[in-house]
Every structure is written in C-alpha cells, then in structure tokens.
Amino acid sequence: MSHYNLPIIPDDFKTCQPFVGAIHPSLRQLNAYITRKFKHDFVGENIVALTEYIATSKSSWSKGKFYLFGQLPTDLDTPLTNELLQKAIDVNIQRGIEYGAPANSFEAASIHRSEQIFQNLLYLLGRYYRHPYELMELYRPDGEFMTKFIEESCGPAISSEM
C-alpha cells in the first residue's frame, strides 16, 4: 500500500492572494491551467492523470465521468478538494480489502497504473498550489527573469559607457 500526500493548500489561496485560479480546481480547470493558461511553465511535466482521466470521461461507457483513483465516479467539473481525494483513497483501500489481492498480473498492472495516475494527479495539484509562488520568485526584482532581462536589455549599454 502506497502512501498518498494530499496537496497542501496555502492560506493565501483562501484569501485570494496570490490568486490565479480556483481554490479547489476541478479536473477541467486544472487541465486548462496546466495545458493552456500556463502551459509554458509546465513544459516537460508528466500530465498522465489529466490525459487519462479526461479520455475516460469522453468514452461512451463512462457517461461523462472519470473514475478518481479508478474507483470513485467523478464529474469533470467537481472541485478536487482534499476531502474528495481522501474519499477516493478510502474507497480504494476498502475495495482492496473487499476483493483481496489481484487475481493475476493483468489486475496487478491495472491497480499499479491506477495508483500511478492518482499519484500524478496529487503531484499536479501540488504544483498548481505552488505555481503562483514560483512565478513571484521568478519575477521579483532580483529574480531569475528580471536579472536576465536587465542583463539582456541593458548589458551592452552599461558596458559601452565604461
């Protein structure tokens, strides 16, 4: 049994500072934030949870829902609260108790994949909550972006005055 770390929601999100998204994003909002709104900040990130859960919701048998942690039917617009995430963990644990060990390697692989996708979702939610702070750090006056911008913009002018 793996250990799952639920995302830490900074108090600033509750007071809307810094506020660049929903306090509890839905899967649809999280996907838009990571793959469209701030896609350049998430280049190279593993987004398998977004891809898999959204693809599942589009299949004819799922009726527009995805199965959070492979067990809990969830709508794309349902806020991903820590309570919902914990419920998905609890349902998964309960199903493991009810059904026991996997019957074959295919079931074991399916369970492992479901765990990996859920872990990825937790990771992406953690990144979502840390992202505004990463942006503030990057763009502060002595931050990486501004330092590079000043060097590129003013570097030749400053060196020619000497």
pLDDT in tens, 86-135: 999 999 999 999 998 899 999 999 999 999 999 999 999 999 999 888 88
Q: What is the pTM of this model?
A: 0.84
Cα distance between residue 104 and residue 134, in whole Å: 44
Q: Which helix (H) or strand (E) holds 34?
A: none
- Say what the alpha-carbon torsion angle 9, 10, 16, 18 is, to the nearest 10 degrees: -120
Phi and psi, residue 33, nearest 5°: -65, -45
Crossing angle, helix 105-139 and helix 144-161, to 10 degrees? 40
Crossing angle, helix 48-58 and helix 105-139, to 10 degrees? 120
Condensed to tens digits (0 to 9), the pLDDT of residues 35-45 reads 999 999 999 99
